[in-house]
Structure 1
Amino acid sequence: MNEVYADDRVETRHPEQNIAKADAIAAWCNAIRSRPRLGKNPDEYLAIGIDGKGRLMELVAIRNGDGDFLIYHAFIPPQPNAKKELGIIEGSGRK
């Protein structure tokens, strides 16, 4: 229960980013913000976390009935729409 796994596509979808499954799992375990995507699929979660190499990463995972998570999307850096969905605001807002 509450195990975290990464799908093979984490490593193959964006090969130029050099994201290994272990990197995505580390970022998930070190998430600074996460939430279920209630408007889309309540079993789908969006997170932003820091991997073992210090990289800020956007992640999407599905939670199964046992409470385990399967990460199927990982991207560096987190995109503005993911930050907005998680309520993360960059900068001070001053002009």
Structure 2
Amino acid sequence: MDVPVVVHPRVSARHPEIEEEGAIHAWVYAVECAERVDSPYWPAYAALGDDRNGRLLELLAALQEDGSILIYHAMTPPSKKTMTEIFGPERREQ
């Protein structure tokens, strides 16, 4: 069963270089993902994945009540904060 993935309109408004399809592709084929247990949007996740142009995207997403995933943040390149959140401080620079 495929889980619907939706991109919040704010993503492309704040980062016009990121297309909706690219953010969805990066989510579906994410190379790393970590649960954000302290998020007010829990269950929420931080993920890293490549868009269709091969750019590494930082994604923040939340599971919605209807079972869909809402990507509410995407940017490239990933921030040091997100890299630390996903990998821990010892692997941030990789």
- Normalising by structure 2, we get a TM-score of 0.84
Q: How many residues align?
A: 89
Whichever residue aligns with residue 71 of structure 2, its letter is: I
Contact 1:49 1:56 in 2 (8 A): yes
Task: Report the Cα distance in structure 2 between the residues aligned to 1:87 and 1:5, rounded to whole angstroms.
Answer: 25
Whichever residue aligns with residue 36 of structure 1, its letter is: E
Whichever residue aligns with residue 49 of structure 2, its letter is: G
Task: Report the Cα distance in structure 2 between the residues aligned to 1:40 and 1:9, rounded to whole angstroms.
Answer: 18
| Number of the residue aligned with 1:14 | 15
Unaligned runs of 5+ in 2: none
Whichever residue aligns with residue 22 of structure 1, its letter is: E
Task: Report the Cα distance in structure 2 between the residues aligned to 1:31 and 1:78, rounded to whole angstroms.
Answer: 13
| Number of the residue aligned with 1:27 | 26
- Normalising by structure 1, we get a TM-score of 0.84
Whichever residue aligns with residue 37 of structure 1, its letter is: R
Computing the radius of gyration over CA atoms, which structure comes out larger, 1 or 2? 1
Task: Report the Cα distance in structure 1 between the residues aligned to 2:8 and 2:47, rounded to whole angstroms.
Answer: 16
Root-mean-square deviation (Å): 1.6
Task: Report the Cα distance in structure 2 between the residues aligned to 1:13 and 1:44, rounded to whole angstroms.
Answer: 20
Task: Report the Cα distance in structure 2 between the residues aligned to 1:14 and 1:40, rounded to whole angstroms.
Answer: 22
- Runs in 1 of length 4+ with deviation above 3 angstroms? none
Unaligned runs of 5+ in 1: none
Q: Taking every aligned residue pair, what percent have the same amino acid on both sides?
A: 38
